[in-house]
């Protein structure tokens, strides 16, 4: 297969495909760190060259949930996030039969589409726990190859003699002076397997995210949203003093605005 590994300068994924007999090339704005077929430049320049498979690792700086607080606090130009999303869209829409896009937990899920799979390094022989999302086109889900004990988890801490009995999962919502409810997760360190705890933890995170989104949608409407509600006959267009987001708003596109 002709494999394009986009946004890769290390050559690691490229060399894995090459070692399996594929015609693989990496591409990055940076030069490659290890000798091998590499295009140094914009991947968009070469995306139409008839690849059978593309694996892409686009930059997450302006997309990852952990970095978005800079943007929503107004400390970073929101256009950077829009540009990063448009780059991901160009990768997803590339005329390539099989595509895998990799990114941490990011707003790609809420702004473009939910990922198809979330994996962790500890499912593949590395002792790290990091939610890594995959957006797949015509590709099967990755199958874990080797489970190892992730470092820094409750089990690891337990071995160091630190007893953790519960975790609180919750979130603030920017611009309003209240946040989601806290969900308390009791931890049964002696009997529960890490995978089972992870499942409960991410179910709680999903619940918090859904609640945070609902609060955002109730409170972060823009001026055009407000004018719409006034036109619809809802008084001054506010609800409990806040403007709800109009999902068809031509101005904020139904995403609301930072307040």
Is there binding between residue 7 and ligand SAM (CB under 6 A)?
Answer: yes
18 lies in the binding site for ligand SAM (CB under 6 A)? no
Q: How far apart are CA 103 and CA 135, in angstroms?
A: 9
Question: What's phi and psi for 179, nearest 5 deg?
Answer: -130, -155
**Residue 84 binds ligand SAM (CB under 6 A):** no
Cβ 6 vs Cβ 38: under 8 Å:
no
Q: What is the DSSP letter of 48?
A: T
Tell me if 101 contacts ligand SAM by CB under 6 A.
no
Q: How far apart are the C-alpha atoms of 7 and 61, rounded to whole Å?
A: 13
Pair 120, 113: CB distance under 8 Å: no
Count the neighbouring beta carbons within 10 Å of the beta carbon of residue 15.
18
With CB under 6 A as the contact rule, which of the stretches 21-29, 171-179, 182-190, 224-232 interacts with ligand SAM? 21-29
- Judged by CB under 6 A, the residue of 59, 74, 125, 144 near ligand SAM is 59
The least distance separating ligand SAM from the CB of residue 180, rounded to whole angstroms, comes to 29
Among 1, 20, 23, 29, binds ligand SAM (CB under 6 A): 29
Minimum gap (Å) between residue 238 Cβ and ligand SAM: 41
Minimum CB–partner distance for residue 121 and ligand SAM (Å): 13
**Residue 79 interacting with ligand SAM (CB under 6 A):** no
- Using the rule CB under 6 A, is 57 a contact of ligand SAM? yes
- What does the DSSP assignment read for 234-245? -TTS-BTTBBPP
Q: Measured from the CB atom, is 5 or 204 closer to ligand SAM?
A: 5
- The token duo for 180 is 């989601």
Cβ neighbors of 121 (< 8 A, separation 6 or more) are: 127, 128, 129, 130, 132, 150
For 88, the 3-state DSSP assignment is helix
- Please report how close the Cβ of residue 16 comes to ligand SAM at its closest, in angstroms: 11
Task: Give the up-direction half-sphere exposure of residue 170: CA atoms within 13 A in the CB hemisphere.
Answer: 10
Residue linked to tokens 């895998």: 100
Identify which of residues 4 and 243 has a Cβ nearer to ligand SAM in the complex.
4
Determine if 51 is a binding residue for ligand SAM (CB under 6 A). no
Choose, by CB under 6 A, the member of 3, 9, 106, 135 that binds ligand SAM.
9
Per CB under 6 A, 8 contacts ligand SAM: yes
Please report, as ranges, the residues that interact with ligand SAM according to CB under 6 A: 7-10, 12, 27-30, 42-43, 57, 59-60
């Amino acid at each position: 297969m002709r494999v394009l590994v986009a946004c890769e300068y290390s050559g690691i994924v490229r060399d894995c495909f090459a070692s399996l007999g594929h015609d693989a090339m990496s591409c990055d704005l940076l030069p490659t760190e290890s000798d091998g077929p590499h295009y140094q430049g914009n991947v968009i320049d070469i995306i139409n060259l008839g690849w059978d498979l593309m694996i892409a690792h686009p930059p997450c700086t302006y997309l990852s949930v952990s970095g978005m607080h800079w943007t929503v606090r107004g400390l970073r130009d929101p256009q950077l996030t829009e540009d990063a999303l448009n780059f991901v869209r160009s990768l997803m829409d590339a005329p390539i039969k099989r595509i895998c896009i990799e990114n941490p937990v990011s707003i790609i899920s809420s702004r473009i589409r939910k990922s198809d799979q979330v994996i962790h390094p500890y499912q593949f022989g590395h002792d790290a726990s990091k939610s890594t999302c995959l957006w797949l086109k015509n590709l099967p889900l990755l199958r874990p190859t080797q489970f190892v004990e992730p470092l820094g988890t409750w089990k690891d801490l337990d071995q160091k003699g630190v007893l953790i009995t519960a975790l609180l999962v919750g979130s603030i919502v920017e611009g309003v002076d209240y946040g989601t409810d806290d969900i308390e997760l009791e931890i049964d360190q002696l009997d529960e397997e890490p995978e089972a705890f992870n499942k409960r933890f991410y179910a709680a995170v999903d619940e918090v995210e859904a609640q945070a989104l609902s609060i955002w949608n109730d409170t972060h409407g823009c001026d055009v949203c407000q004018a719409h509600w006034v036109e619809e006959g809802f008084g001054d267009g506010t609800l409990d003093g806040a403007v709800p987001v109009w999902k068809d708003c031509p101005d904020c596109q139904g995403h609301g605005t930072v307040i």
